[in-house]
Amino acid sequence: MEKTKIAIIGLGGIAQLAHLPILTKLPNVQVVSIADTSRTRLKVVGEKYAIESQYQDYREMLAKEEIHGVVIATPTDSHAEIAVNCLKAKKDILIEKPIARNLEEAKTIQAAAKKNKKQVMVGMKLRYRPDAMLMRSLVNSGELGDIFYIRCGWLRKQSSEQKWFLNKSQSGGGVLIDLGILVLDLALWIMNDHKLKSVSVETFSHTTKDVEDTAVGLVRFSDERVISFEVSWGLHAEWDKFHLAAFGTKGTAHLNPLKAYKRLESGHIDYTLPTSATASNLYKKAFENELKHFVAAVRDNSPMVSSGEDALMLMQLLEAIYKSAELKKEVML
């Protein structure tokens, strides 16, 4: 079987902790080339994974190497330029979230994908957690009735200590574009509906200057369903606490850990699966599922989950969220 040839641009933490360890072990994949502006990082990573093809200029790599798909794991302010150049070079791409700093950059990427007839996938890893996929299947089966309310959130320490991460002109925002976009993507995916009506959000900057470190908000649908969310790098709470609960007319499902109940006249049915999955196992499995899906979509030219179109909708929502926080009022979508 011919191997799918993948290149990685950006060799920071996520590439070294997730992308490279997983991709280099997949039997149908060959990581043919890596690119990074740091010569030292290229040398260290290249030696560790026996990747001889190394470039400080990714454009040179695109011109010289035979590549089927590219993983982009660089700082957010470089996503749009790199993505567009990869798409022009006729490569399918996986961009680590967020797709870009703002809606306009996201539109530019999607326009390039459409023009060059290539696909964009965005790393929304919460969708690929085994427990999240089971929860969505349960919701879609109708066992819980109509889902009318989702409550979700993520409280954890700041995701990166790099300076660019807290510079709004480079990152596009704070905890909302870091964690908020992930939990909202998962909630919308489980709700399986994008008919949004309005948002009302409050942000706080107690430990940061240029970006928000905490946000709480409400997303309303046109049919009166609701998503409430909270995300923070700074709340004094248990670190790395991710949660989501979906409330339906017939039952309820919770994530992390996965629990689900259906109401009956005589009591309730417990759908909870016995599992010993740890947070680290779920984290690793989510990345494995995500990368396997990307490779399969590149090989078969099949539709990508967490697509560029989905990311565009999320950036529209995020733009309204930031506007609501700035104006201190509800913003219609």
The tens digit of pLDDT for each residue in 248-284 reads 999 999 998 899 998 765 566 666 655 656 777 888 8
Q: Hey, what are 94's tokens? A: 């996986």
Task: List, for residues 86-102, the tens digit of each pLDDT value.
Answer: 999 999 999 999 999 99
pLDDT score recorded for residue 269: 65
Confidence of residue 1 (pLDDT cuts 50, 70, 90): low
Backbone CA torsion sign across 217, 219, 220, 225:
negative
Question: Could you give the domains of the chain?
Answer: 4-125 (3.40.50.720), 127-286+314-332 (3.30.360.10)
pLDDT tens, position by position, 196-211:
999 999 999 999 999 9
pLDDT at residue 76 tops 90: yes
Q: How far is 266 from 251, CA to CA, in rounded Å? A: 14
- What's the pLDDT at 266? 56
Q: Across-strand partners of 121?
A: 94, 307
Tokens of 45: 């990573």
- pTM of the predicted model, to two decimals? 0.94
Distances (CA, A) of 152 to 51, 215, 252, 263: 41, 12, 13, 22
